[in-house]
Amino acid sequence: MSDALQPLTATRVAVLIDGSNFLNELDRAGLGFPSLEPLVRMLSAPDNLLFARFYAAAPNRDWSPHYQNWQRFTAANRAVPNLSFVPGYRNKAGKEKGVDVALSVDLTIGACHKHFDRAVVVTADGDMKYAIKQAVSHLAVPVTVALIDGLTYAGLAKSFAREGAAIFPLKVADLISLGVCALGRYAHVPVPTVLAATVKDAPVAATESADQPSAMPNSTSLPTETTLASQ
């Protein structure tokens, strides 16, 4: 059969990344800040990426080195096609707010209106299970949950699977070999040549140290004033 007679089978994929959760999971795995283009490409293959969204509240400006590292990370990923950053905010205690709700709403509404044919959710947060269940069981949209292999409790993966989700294990070796992350906490984003000019003037992240805190700070350890995440 000629290419012209092949049936159209393109599948539209949405990739929804629970950003702060994902950054902390990478930190636990001993990996640095991610380049999102190869990650999104891996998760959407072999289908067509419709959009990708990274949900997170920026660290407050006086949280050093977290804020500087965040600025560098977002600068390195601004040019990724079809990717947008969805900001949350932080309350007076510094706790991230609004992110889980935004991701869950986007997943549910997108599934309800058939904006995409399948979704990939990058999260290790069990609070996402209900939204995933609604998308799969009631709206008939397949959902894959991507988890860093070897970090998440086996029970969490099983609980996602019980809600109908497929599980995509993100292997550390693959994340490194595909250029998603470099080995080492607080390692810089592996920046493709085409993005080098975008990143070169961004604030430099702190030097890696075994005593450094996690990639996205624990809200209880760094209380500060309410700051709306600005991108």
List pLDDT tens digits, range 46-90: 999 999 999 999 999 999 889 999 999 999 999 999 999 999 999
CA-based nearest residue to 55, from 84, 79, 82: 84
Cα 109 → chain centroid: 19
pLDDT for res 210: 38
Give the pLDDT confidence of 39-49 residue by residue, as tens digits: 999 999 999 99
Residue type, 83: L
Give the model's confidence band at 224: pLDDT under 50 very low, under 70 low, under 90 confident, else very high.
very low
Contact 67, 230 (CB under 8 A): no
For residue 119, give both structure tokens: 């979704």
Rounded to whole angstroms, how far apart are CA atoms 19 and 30? 17
Residue type, 65: P
Phi then psi for 14, rounded to 5 degrees?
Answer: -110, 135
Cβ of 100: how many Cβ atoms within 10 Å?
Answer: 19
How are beta strands 227-228 and 89-90 bridged, if at all? antiparallel
Rounded to whole angstroms, how far apart are CA atoms 112 and 138? 9
Domain ranges of the chain: 11-197
Give the pLDDT confidence of 138-156 residue by residue, as tens digits: 999 999 999 999 886 688 9
Task: Tell me how far CA of residue 16 lies from CA of 44, 58, 218, in angstroms.
Answer: 11, 17, 22
Dihedral, 50, 142, 15, 53 alpha carbons, nearest 10:
90
Contact 17, 53 (CB under 8 A): yes
Rounded to whole angstroms, how far apart are CA atoms 100 and 132? 12
pLDDT for res 216: 61
pLDDT for res 209: 38
- Which H, E and C letters describe 149-206, residue by residue? CCCCCHHHHHHHHHCCCEEEEECHHHHHHCCCCCECCCCCCCCCHHHHHHHCCCCCCC
- Give the angle subtended at the CA of 98 by the CAs of 97 and 104, to the nearest 5°: 135
Please state which CATH number belongs to domain 11-197: 3.40.50.1010
